[in-house]
Chain A
C-alpha cells in the first residue's frame, strides 16, 4: 500500500485526518475505518447509488471516490445531524418510502442534494429531483414514495 501525506477533510462537521493508502475508496473508509455503516455497500462500481454521500454539497457515489480526492473537502453522510437532513428523513418516514431499506440512505442523500441545489433553467423542480435520483436504484420499486418525499420538501421550501 502506498503511503502519502495525511489527507484532511471535514466529516459530518468534524475535522478528520487520514494517514493511510490514498487509493482506498471513501466507501471503505467510512464503513470499515470509521464504522459508519449507514452508507451502504452495493455494486461498488458507481451504479446502484446505495453508497451515496454528499461531497462539497453534491451527491456522489462514495465507492468511486478515492480518499486522495477528498483532501480539504467536506463530506456529509447519513449519520450527519444537519436539520435539513432530518427533514428529508421525516418525509421518507411519512411517505412509507423504505421497504427493504438498503437503498434508502443513498436515496436520502440524493434527495438532500436536490433540496440544496437549484433546478437549471431548463428543468422543473420535479425534473431536477429525478435527474439527481437517476444515480440511485430502488429494487423494491418504491420510487413513487421517494419522489413524493423529495418533492414535498422542495415544494415547501419555495412557499
Chain B
C-alpha cells in the first residue's frame, strides 16, 4: 500500500488511523468543555399516555442541580419529512408532506423510554438523583404495540392522522391477477425480518455549548450535519444559522441519521437555558432502549412462473413497523417499492406497502435500509421457486434479472453488466458448479445458497439529494477541501483525499480535508448516509477541484511559478505571490452536484454462502462466504474490501442471531450481554470480489453489501435441511422447529 500518491487500483492507508491507534480523544464521549454540566433524561415508563403534571420541586433540592427542562420550556415544533420533492408531472411522492409526530418532550408520550424532562447538574450522579425525584403524573392511554393491532378496524389512533406513517403506497403494471392464474406454477409465502439494533459500542452522546448571541454549537456523531441542523432548528424553534453542528468521530451504521429522542435537542435547550455547556451521555442500555432500530418487516409475496422459469407475475404486500416516530419511515415504503419493482423484469407486477406506527421504540436508518428487508423476502421466494422447479438458482436469476436497456422504477435506463459480472465472478470464485447444493455427513448437513440484490447509491433526483464542496488554496501551500460530509468510519476521509489529489494532480499530503462542520461547509443534503459519498460528494469534489486547478494554472503562469505534481511545494510560493500581488482571499472554487436521474444509481451484488447445519442442535455455521460487489469506479480497493466484510458481518448477525426483542412495548434484551452481536468467534471470513467498472461513477459500498446476505444463508440452510425458513434470525430453535424436532 502507498501513502504518498494514489494510482489506479492501488490502495491508500487510512489517513485517520494513526490518531485512532493512539486512542485520540476524537469521539463524542471524549468531549469535555470547561464549566460543563451533565444532564440526564427522565424517560417514560409506559407505552402511551398523556402527561398531566410534572413536579420538579424535590428534584431541584438535590445539591448540584442547576436546571430542569420540560415541555413548558420547548418553543419548537414537530418534524416533518422534507426528504422528497415534487416530481414534475407526478406530484409530491406520498408521505412527504405528512407530520412525523416527533417533537422534544411531547405532552403525550408514545413509547417506553421517550424523554419527558431533562436535568442538568454539576455531576451526572446528581442529575440522575434529581431525575429519580421528579414526580410525573401520566394518564395511561391504551397502547398499540404491534402492526396487527395498529391496523385492526377498532384500533386506537395513536396520532390524529392515523396509524400509518404515510398513505398506503401502491403500484401496478399489467394484469397481475390474470397472470397469476395463467402461470404454470404459483408460489406464495409470508416472510419476516426482525428489529435489529445498531449496537454501537460508543453509547449515544451529545455536548452542546452556548456561544453567545443566542447561538449554540453541538458536538455529536451524525450522518448529515446539515440535516441535523435543520431538525434541531425545528425542534428548538430557532433559526438554523444560530445552530452549529460539528460531527465528532464515532460509529453510526445509520444510527445517527436523524436526531435522537431527547438527546441533541435536549442538550441544546439546556445549554441555552443555563448558559453553560451541557453533556448528555446515555448509558449503553439507554442507547439500546431509545436508539432507532432496523424496521421489523412482513412481506406477503406471490409469484407466477412459466415452466421455463420465466417470472410472469409478482404480487407483494409489505408492512414495516416504524415504532412511535420514524423520520425515515416517511419514505421507506417508496424505497422498498422501488427495489421490489427494479431488480427483475416482470411484465405483471403489483406492490403495496404500509409503514405502521406502534407505541414502541422508533425504527430508522440502518445499513442497507429497505433492501435488506425486501431481498430477504423476494430472494427467498426465488430460491424456493428454483428448488421446486429444479432450476439452478443462478440460472433463474440470469433468466429474470433486469437487462441493459430496461428502465428502473422512475424511468432511468439500467446498465446490468455489473450485475452479470457479479453473478458470474461470484459463482466462479465460490465454485458454484463444482459441488452439489446439499451434502449430508452424519448428523451434519452442508448446504449452499445464493442471492442477488440492488441497492441505491444516493437517493436520486426524486429527493432533495445534492452535495456542494469547496476547495481552496491555503497560505502554507495545501489545498483544503471543505465538506459537511463526516467520516463515520467508512473511510470517506481517505477516499475524498485520493479523489482531490488525483483531480488536482497533487500528492496526497498536499490535501487537507475539513469535514462535518456546518459553520462554513457548503450545503450537503443527506450527508454520509445512503451509500452516497464517493459518488455524490465525490463528483462535487471533482468539479470543484477541476475549477481550482484551472485557476491555479492561470495564476501560476502569471506568477511564473510552475504548478505541477513534482513541484507541489510551489503551492506555498504561489499563495505568497497571490497574497502579495493580488490580495484578498486565496483562490477557491465551489461546485454543486445533483444527479439528473430520478432513480438512484443502482448498486448490484451477488453473494454465495455455504453453511453447516447440526441436525441435532439446529446450530448453523457459515463455512464459506463469497461476496461479489458492484462498485463502478474503485477509489480505494482495500477499504472497499473492508467495507464489504463489515456489511456482511452486520447482515450475518441479522441472518443468524441478532434480534432486538420488544415485549409489551419494552425492549427486553437491550444490552451487550443479552443482545448477541458477533465477536471474533462468530466472525466469518468473507471472500470479497470487487467488481469494478471504469466508465461508471464510484458507487457506494458500505451499505449495499448487506442486502443479499440473509437470503443466501437461508437458501443454504434450506438446501442442507430441506426447509426454507421464512423468518430470520435463523436461530437453533427456528431451525429445529423447521426440522420438526421441537
Note whether A and B form a binding pair. Answer: yes
Q: A residues engaging B (CB < 8 A)? A: 37-45, 47-48, 50, 77-79, 89, 92-94, 96-105, 108, 130, 133-134, 136-137, 139-147
Please state if A141 and B646 are interface contacts (CB–CB under 8 Å): yes
From known contacts A96-B638, A98-B17, infer whether A44 and B284 are also in contact, taking CB-CB under 8 Å.
yes
- Contacts known (A92-B21, A96-B17, A96-B638); A45 close to B202, Cβ less than 8 A: no
Beyond A92-B17, A98-B16, A99-B646, whether A139 also contacts B1 by CB under 8 A is no
Give B680's nearest chain A residue, CB to CB.
Answer: A133
Within 8 A of A (CB), among B648-693: 648-650, 671-673, 677-681, 683, 685-686
Tell me if B200 counts as interface (CB < 8 A to partner A): yes
> Could you give 15 example pairs across A and B, Cβ below 8 Å?
A40-B29, A47-B673, A93-B17, A94-B13, A96-B13, A96-B638, A97-B17, A98-B16, A99-B646, A100-B488, A101-B249, A102-B202, A134-B680, A136-B679, A136-B680
Which B positions have Cβ atoms within 8 angstroms of A? 1, 11, 13-14, 16-18, 20-27, 29-30, 198-203, 249-253, 283-284, 488-491, 638-639, 642, 645-650, 671-673, 677-681, 683, 685-686
- Inter-chain contacts of B680 with A (CB < 8 A): 130, 133-134, 136, 143, 146-147
7 closest cross-chain pairs (CB), A and B = A38-B23, A141-B649, A100-B489, A101-B20, A141-B646, A37-B25, A78-B23
State A73–B26 Cα separation when bound (angstroms). Answer: 29
Return chain B residues, CB-CB under 8 Å to A103: 201
A105 surroundings in chain B (CB, below 8 A): 21, 23
| Contact (A47, B672) CB under 8 Å given A96-B642, A101-B489, A139-B677 | yes
Residues on B with beta carbons closer than 8 Å to the beta carbon of A40: 23, 27, 29-30, 201-202
Most chain B beta carbons < 10 A, residue from A38, A145, A147? A38
Question: From DSSP, what is the main secondary structure of chain A's interface residues?
Answer: loop
User: Which of B21, B249, B647 gathers the greatest number of chain A CB atoms within 10 Å?
Assistant: B21
Complex Cα gap A144–B203 (Å): 24
* Alpha-carbon gap, A141 to B646, bound state (A): 4
What chain B residues lie within 8 Å of A142 (beta carbons)?
A: 642, 645-646
Given contacts A79-B23, A130-B680, A140-B251, 7 further A-B contacts (CB under 8 A): A37-B25, A41-B203, A45-B673, A99-B490, A104-B20, A104-B21, A105-B23
Known: A100-B251, A136-B679, A139-B251. A39 touches B23 (CB 8 A): yes
Q: Are B201 and A139 in contact (CB under 8 A)?
A: yes
Q: Is the CB of A101 within 8 A of B201?
A: no
Tell me the dominant secondary structure on chain B's binding face: loop
Residues in chain B near residue A45, CB distance under 8 A:
284, 671-673
A96 touches B27 (CB 8 A): no
Most buried by A among B13, B17, B198, B680: B680
Bound CA span A133–B198, Å: 21
User: Are A93's CB and B253's CB within 8 A?
Assistant: no
Cβ contact within 8 Å between B491 and A99: yes
Give every chain A residue within 8 A of B673 (Cβ-Cβ).
45, 47
Is the pair B201, A42 in contact by a Cβ cutoff of 8 Å? Answer: yes
Question: Which chain A positions have C-beta within 8 A of B20?
Answer: 98, 101, 104
Bound form: Cα–Cα A144–B22 in Å: 20
Contact A144 B249 (CB under 8 A): no
Residues of A within 8 Å of B249, CB to CB, are 100-102
Residues of A within 8 A of B29 (CB): 40-41
Residues of chain A with a CB closer than 8 A to B250's CB: 100, 102
Check B203–A42 contact: CB distance below 8 A.
yes
In the complex, A105→B30 CA distance in Å?
Answer: 13
> In the complex, what residue of chain A is closest to B288 when comparing beta carbons?
A43
What's the minimum C-beta distance from B644 to chain A, rounded to whole angstroms? 10
Contact check, B16 vs A38: say whether CB atoms are below 8 A apart.
no
Say whether A143 contacts B201, CB under 8 Å.
Answer: no
Min distance, Cβ A119 to any Cβ of chain B, angstroms? 16
Nearest chain A CB to B262 CB, angstrom units: 20
Q: A94-B13, A101-B249 are in contact. Are A78 and B22 (CB under 8 A)?
A: yes
Q: Which residues of B are found within 8 Å of A101, using beta-carbon distances?
A: 16-17, 20, 26, 249, 489
CA gap between A103 and B683 in the complex, in Å = 16
Which of chain A's residues has its CB closest to B648's CB?
A141
Q: How far is the CA of A50 from the CA of B200 in the complex (A)?
A: 11
Cα of A47 to Cα of B674 in the assembled complex, Å: 10
Give complex CA distance A42, B252 in Å: 14
Minimum distance in angstroms from A8 CB to a CB of chain B: 25
Give Cα A102 to B23, complex, Å. Answer: 8
Complex Cα spacing A97 to B641, Å: 12
Residue with the highest number of chain B CB atoms closer than 10 Å, among A48, A94, A140, A141: A141
Q: B11's closest neighbor in chain A, by CB?
A: A96
Interchain CB contact (< 8 A) of A137 among B14, B201, B671 = B201
CB proximity of A86 to chain B, nearest CB, Å: 9
The interface residues of chain A lying within 8 Å CB-to-CB of B491 are: 99
- Complex-state Cα separation, A155 to B381, whole angstroms: 47
Q: In the assembled complex, which residues on chain A have CB atoms less than 8 Å from the CB atom of B30?
A: 37, 40
In the bound complex, residues from chain A placing their C-beta under 8 Å from that of B488 are 100
List of A residues within 8 angstroms of B202 by Cβ: 40-42, 50, 100, 102
